[in-house]
Amino acid sequence: MREIRIGTAQFEARDADKQYNLGRVRELAREAASGGAEVVCFHECCITGYTFMENLGRSELEDLAEPVPDGPSVAALLDVARDCGLALGAGLLERREDGGLYNTYAVVSPEGFVAKHSKLHPFISEHLSPGGKYTVFPLLGCTFGVLICYDNNLLENVRVTTLMGAEIVLMPHVTGGTPSPMPGRGEIPRQVWENRERDPVACRMEFNGPKGRGWLMHWLPTRAFENGIYAVFSNPIGADGETTKPGNSMIIDPYGEIVAECHALRDEVVVALCTPDKIEHSGGRRYIRARRPELYAKLVEPVPEHEKTRRSSAHADVWWKKHR
């Protein structure tokens, strides 16, 4: 790895409005570039919108989906990359030749299409298929990985991505403000967001409390710390389907420390300098070297069918609430 400036963004996407959402990607990518970023990360399905897809049928999802990398949205991302002079990642709904639909994250640079990752644990719709592989790739003298939302909640996914060589993991999400039995968690009222200019304190309390940032702090810095990686977390802010999302996009270093974070109650992008020395000196890299794989057979035993949810979910509480 070399020193590199990386950006992460938050914005309020519009459901099924690709033109608007790609316009926001362009403007925020331009801001990131002006701040020195060489790469900028946008959130899960930021091109299509996300949570509203739980109410769409198969044919509606097919109409929303497109090929990757040969579809119009990736072409638009390539144009943004060339216009702004940086690499970027953004999420959309992918349709493959075999008819499968995937929650996919595309990474492009001014030189062309770089990589794509399909979410390993999709849950927003029964019509989405899970991705079947990890994604690690070289870019700008560094090695990147991608894991989408709930992929990151399973510690094994981040560890394997790190073992495959990732130094920086892009972690696009749509999370926060969902029903939950955990103390203090739950939905963020839409009126709190809509009234943010008149009462920003109430909005910040919701977004930074246990419904949003407080929950992230239980586990997100740990993923960076335990693996000795840079974690680039991106998340939408504001209305997302019937939910309200808290933003909190941030970059976390291999020590588990936040080095840049979005705080504004609006669309925003922040940029951080990421340096290789933190990886070299991190505890996570020592832990990886200290592993004893001969003891880990239990980790790869199949999970009994009766213990599985139909789809693992970052918002499993929502799924159970609707389908129990």
| 101: CB partners within 8 A, 6+ apart | 61, 62, 65, 93, 94, 95, 125, 127, 128, 129
Number of H helices, E strands in the chain: 10, 14
In the DSSP assignment, the letter for residue 285 is H
Q: What is the mean pLDDT of each run of 10 residues along the chain (324 residues)?
A: 98 98 98 98 98 97 98 98 98 97 98 98 95 98 98 97 98 95 93 98 98 97 98 98 97 98 98 98 97 96 68 44 41
Query: pLDDT at position 308, please?
Result: 54
| CATH fold for domain 4-323 | Nitrilase/N-carbamoyl-D-aminoacid amidohydrolase (3.60.110)
Q: Where are the domains of the chain?
A: 4-323
Query: pLDDT at position 307, please?
Result: 58
Residue by residue, what is the 3-state secondary structure of 20-73?
A: HHHHHHHHHHHHHHHCCCCEEECCCCCCCCCHHHHHCCHHHHHHHCECCCCCHH
CB atoms within 10 A of CB 279: 20
Query: pLDDT at position 320, please?
Result: 40
What single string gives the DSSP state of each residue in 288-311? Answer: HHT--GGG-GGGGSPPPGGG--SS
- Please tell me the pTM assigned to this model: 0.94
Structure tokens at 150: 């709930």
